[in-house]
Amino acid sequence: MSAIWHPFTQHGLNEPIPLVDRAEGAALFTRDGRRVIDGISSWWVTTHGHNHPRIMAAVRDQADRLDQVIFAGWTHQPAETVAQGLRALMPAELTRVFFSDSGSTAVEVALKMALGFHAHTGTGRSGIVVMEHSYHGDTIGTMSVGERGVFNAAYAPLLFDVGTIPFPAGDGDNTLSALATLCRDTRPAALIVEPLVLGAGGMLFYPPAVLAQMAAICRAHDVLFIADEVMTGWGRTGTLLACEQAGVVPDILCLAKGLTGGSMPMAVTMASEPIYAAHLSTDRAKTFFHSSSFTANPIACAAAAANIAIWQDEPVRDRIAALAARQTAMVERLADLPGATNPRTCGTIAAIDVVTPDGGYLSTLGPRLLAHFRDNNLLLRPLGNTVYVMPPYCLDTEDHARIEAGIAQALHNLA
C-alpha cells in the first residue's frame, strides 16, 4: 500500500490511482500497459506536449552545469535569459520579473507587492477585491482571495476578509457597478481576477469587454489591477495572455503552469515599474520580503527559457488556432446530445455541463464521470458535473476524436 497522500483526493473512496511510467506528446503510458490521452494537460500545465525535445534537452544540459544556487543577492544566466525573454513577450509596461515556485506563490507575491506598494507610498489602502467563484491557490493568502466554500471551509478562521464582486451576468453591469461602488466607498488596494475564464470555479467564461471595463474602473480609482493568468496564460484562451483580448495591461501579472511548457514547477510575478520603485530604497525595511529556497532554480529556468524560445520561433499560435477550431466543432456536436447543457469554448478550452439534480463541485456525478473516463483511457477530471477539455497543443485529430467519443459515450450512458 502506498504511503502517499494525494492532492484533491478523498482516499476514503478507494478509487484506483494509476501509476504512470512515461509520457510523450499528448499521451501518458501506465505501468499496466495502457496509453492514456491527456485531455487536461496534466492539470493545465503541459502546453507543447509531454517531454518536448527542446525543453528536455535544455534541462539535461543545465543539469550538467548548475543545479541550484541561492537567488538572494546572486544570479545566473538561465534566470537572466528567462527575464529577458519575458520582457520581450509580455507587455512593455511590465518591467520587473520576480521568480517563485507555483501559481499559488505567484499570486501570494502579487498580493504582497500590492500591499507593499500602498504601504511604502503612504496611501493607507489595504483591502483586496475579488470575484465570486474565483480560485487563486491553496496558501492562506490565496485561499482568502478565492471563493469561500468546500475548498477552504475547514480553514476559515485563518482567512482574511475581502470585498467580493459578482460573476458577470449578461452584459456584466452587475459586476461593474459593484466594483465601482467598492472602489469608491472602501478605497481598496487591488482587484485580483482570473481574466476571461474562472477555472476551478467551473470553467466559467465572461467577455473581454467586461474585463476591459473592470480594468478601467480600477485605473479611475487608483486601484491596482492584478491579473492571475496562471491558468489562462500561455495560449489557453487563444492568445498568449487572456488580457490581450481586452486590451488590458495589468499592474501585476501572475504566470506559472505553462511557463516551463509544463515540464517543471516555476512561476513568475511581473510588475510595473511603479510597483518596483515603491520598494526601491536605501531603507532596508522597505525590502520586498519574499522568497523560497528554490527561487529561480537554474534547471527550471532552463526549461522556461526553452519554452520562451519555442514561442518565439515556432508556429505555436497557429497550433493553438487549429486546436481551438477543433474544440469549437467538438462542443457544437456534443451540445446536441441528451444530457449536455451550457456548451462553451474559449480558445483551446472547451466545456459542457451534464444535467443532474445536484450540480456543483461535489456533485455525485463527478466520481462516476471520472471513473468512466479513466476506464476509457482518458485523463479528464470533471469539476463536479462540468466536463472540460484543455489538451496540449500537439493533440492530433485521432486522439481528439477519442476524447469526443468518450464524452459522448458518458452522456449516452447517463441518459
Structural domains of the chain in order of their starting residue, each with its CATH number:
11-51+316-414 (3.90.1150.10), 54-313 (3.40.640.10)
Q: 73: how many CB neighbours lie within 10 A of its CB?
A: 5
The beta strand positions in 335-392, using DSSP E, are 340-346, 349-354, 378-379, 386-389
Q: What is the H or E stretch that residue 193 is in?
A: strand 190-193
Residue 41's nearest CA partner among 348, 300, 327 is 348
Say what the pLDDT of residue 154 is: 93
Q: C-alpha distances in angstroms, 396 versus 1, 25, 327?
A: 37, 10, 12
* pLDDT greater than 80 at residue 23: yes
Set of cell numbers at residue 224: 491596482
Place of cell 497522500: 5
- DSSP letter for 53, please: H
Please tell me the number of Cα atoms within 13 Å of 111 on its side-chain side: 25
The predicted structure's pLDDT at residue 150: 86
What pLDDT band is residue 233 in, cutting at 50, 70 and 90? Answer: very high
As a whole number, the mean pLDDT across the chain is: 97
pLDDT at 187: 97
Specify the pairing of strand 378-379 against strand 252-255: unpaired
**pLDDT digits over 171-226, tens only?**
999 999 999 999 999 999 999 999 999 999 999 999 999 999 999 999 999 999 99
pTM over 0.75: yes
Structure-derived torsion over alpha carbons of residues 348, 349, 350, 355, reported in degrees to the nearest 10: 180
From the number of C-beta atoms within 10 Å of its C-beta (0-12, 13-18, 19+), residue 317 rates as middle
Percentage of the chain lying above the pLDDT 70 cut: 100
pLDDT tier for residue 414 given thresholds of 50, 70 and 90: confident
DSSP code string of 116-176? HHHHHHT-----EEEETT----SSHHHHHTS--STTTGGGGGGPPP-EEEPPP-TTSHHHH
**Tens of pLDDT along 290-324?**
999 999 999 999 999 999 999 999 999 999 999 99
**pLDDT (mean) for 349-378:** 95
C-alpha–C-alpha distance, residues 323 and 346, integer Å: 11
Q: Rounded distance, CA 197 to CA 174, Å?
A: 17
Per-residue pLDDT at 52: 98
